[in-house]
């Protein structure tokens, strides 16, 4: 490994700070992120506390909404006023930013910290651009979770569904008991999370991998895919009128209160439960969304490092990456966030039962699937997927056949 002198100096300064041996000047990092909900900000506070404990100065730039925050980060980098560090997710879309020359690599820290050994290979590989780490992956979230209110199910006399047919059969009973069956916040990405859970549930993990991993047109045109669209169409009447535009965290609150029975959402919903002093798995039910086989649709939160040139900013990036990958920080962060650590060497002690399901599920590589949000498909394809799903969901006159057709064409045009 070769390092130029300023990088070496920055690394040395940061490492001195992290070992508490030095009194190098404060390293200021502006951190741009979209973690503005109660659970998210409580989780981010653990990283911030660890960073400031090592002498860093944290300038917080929260921007509500992932899409808004990512657009702001990119605009500022292109405009020459980059935030030092910004939240993203590992995946093809972050590699697109690296390809545009917008990022610094963080490979020196990764080599010293032996990230290759600490991370699952899938995550290590996708965190690198041209062989160098360009992201610090802080956790693993699952997008195909089902959260439910125990009392609501009891009141309506329904069991936890094992299939989407079970779910559809339970819905009228919930309605009759005055409970909203399905809590959904109507934003394209939330609709996509629901849709992709159905796609996996009805089609199975091989089908998911063909459709999204290979963008296989034949797989998208199958009867299985028609069944997916039929199932999603049957879900339309099960949400309340206030769904359009509602935030995911407010929507999680409906299940926490019991006005709604179920939410299909990433396990960041657990962060809201923890913030409300409810234990996921005990006070609120959690299970992987009904599916014919077991799989975990991963999204990996990460921070990336803008292409700043000055030594203090680079030092701040180095210190930040070091802190974010510290096993104790990762444990504290994920316990509040609802995720599991990206590092394999963090003990599962003190994690809730849902997190333990996640950890055990991921032990089998056959379960590993990736989100179409930021991870597994290029940005144009990701946008086309969300658009097609959202149009189908919101246009109640659109038939499953038309929905499938739209989906196939939209992806085909974007790829």
Q: What is the Cα–Cα distance from 253 to 148, expressed in whole angstroms?
A: 11
Binding footprint of ligand GAL, residue count (CB under 6 A): 11
DSSP string, 208-257: HIIIIIS--HHHHTSHHHHHHHHHHHHHGGGS-TT-BT--HHHHHHHHHH
- Asked if residue 34 binds ligand GAL (CB under 6 A), the reply is yes
Element (H, E) at 33: strand 27-33
Residue of the chain from 190, 243, 299, 330 that contacts ligand GAL (CB under 6 A): 299
By beta carbon distance, the residue nearest ligand GAL is 268
What is the 8-class DSSP label of residue 293? S
Stretch that binds ligand GAL, among 34-42, 53-61, 102-110, 152-160 (CB under 6 A): 34-42
Say how many residues make up the chain: 415
Instruction: Pick the closer one to ligand GAL by CB: 89 or 306.
Output: 89
Burial (Cβ within 10 Å: 0-12, 13-18, ≥19) of residue 413: exposed
CB 161 within 8 A of CB 170: yes
Q: How far is the CB of 22 from ligand GAL (least distance, A)?
A: 33
Q: How far is the CB of 111 from ligand GAL (least distance, A)?
A: 26
Q: How far is the CB of 40 from ligand GAL (least distance, A)?
A: 5
- Asked if residue 268 binds ligand GAL (CB under 6 A), the reply is yes
CB 109 within 8 A of CB 321: yes
Residue of the chain from 30, 40, 187, 386 that contacts ligand GAL (CB under 6 A): 40
30 three-class SS? strand
| Pattern 55-74, ligand GAL, x by CB under 6 A | -----------x--------
The alpha carbons of the chain give a radius of gyration, in whole angstroms, of: 22
Instruction: Pick the closer one to ligand GAL by CB: 181 or 373.
Output: 373
- Asked if residue 51 binds ligand GAL (CB under 6 A), the reply is no
Stretch that binds ligand GAL, among 33-41, 103-111, 205-213, 216-224 (CB under 6 A): 33-41
Q: What is the Cα–Cα distance from 281 to 384, expressed in whole angstroms?
A: 35
Residue of the chain from 89, 93, 190, 390 that contacts ligand GAL (CB under 6 A): 89
Please give the residue ranges that form the binding site for ligand GAL (CB under 6 A): 34-35, 40, 66, 89, 141, 248, 266, 268, 299, 301
């Amino acid at each position: 490994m070769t390092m130029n002198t300023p990088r070496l100096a920055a690394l040395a300064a940061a490492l001195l700070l992290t070992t508490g041996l030095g009194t190098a000047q404060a390293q200021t990092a502006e951190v741009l992120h979209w973690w503005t909900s109660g659970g998210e900000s409580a989780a981010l506070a653990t990283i911030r506390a660890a960073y400031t404990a090592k002498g860093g100065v944290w300038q917080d730039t929260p921007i509500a909404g992932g899409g808004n925050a990512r657009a702001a980060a990119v605009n500022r980098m292109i405009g020459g006023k980059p935030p030092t560090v910004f939240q993203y997710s590992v995946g093809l879309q972050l590699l697109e930013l690296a390809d545009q020359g917008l990022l610094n690599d963080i490979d020196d820290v990764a080599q010293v910290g032996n990230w290759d050994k600490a991370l699952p290979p899938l995550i290590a590989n996708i965190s690198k651009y041209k062989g160098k780490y360009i992201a610090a992956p802080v956790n693993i979230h699952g997008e195909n979770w089902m959260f439910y209110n125990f009392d609501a199910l009891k009141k309506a006399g329904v069991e936890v569904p094992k299939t989407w047919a079970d779910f559809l059969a339970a819905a009228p009973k919930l309605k009759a008991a005055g409970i909203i069956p399905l809590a959904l916040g109507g934003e394209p990405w939330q609709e996509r999370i629901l849709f992709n859970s159905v796609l996996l549930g009805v089609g199975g993990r091989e089908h998911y991998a063909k459709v999204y991993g290979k963008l296989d047109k034949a797989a998208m045109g199958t009867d299985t895919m028609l069944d997916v669209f039929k199932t999603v169409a049957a879900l339309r009447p099960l949400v309340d009128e206030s769904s359009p535009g509602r935030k995911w965290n407010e929507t999680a609150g409906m299940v926490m209160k019991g006005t709604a029975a179920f939410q299909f959402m990433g396990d960041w919903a657990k962060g809201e439960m923890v913030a409300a002093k409810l234990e996921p798995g005990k006070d609120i039910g959690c299970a992987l969304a009904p599916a014919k086989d077991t799989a975990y649709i991963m999204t990996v939160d990460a921070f990336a490092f803008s292409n700043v040139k000055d030594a203090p900013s680079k030092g701040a990036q180095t210190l930040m990456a070091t802190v974010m990958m510290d096993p104790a920080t990762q444990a504290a962060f994920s316990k509040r966030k609802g995720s599991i650590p990206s590092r394999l060497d963090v003990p599962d002690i003190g994690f809730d039962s849902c997190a333990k399901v996640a950890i055990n599920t991921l032990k089998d590589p056959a379960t590993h699937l990736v989100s179409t949000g930021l991870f597994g498909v290029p940005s144009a394809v990701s946008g086309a997927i969300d658009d097609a799903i959202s149009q189908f969901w919101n246009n109640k006159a659109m038939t499953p056949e038309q929905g499938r057709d739209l989906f196939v064409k939209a992806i085909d045009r974007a790829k």
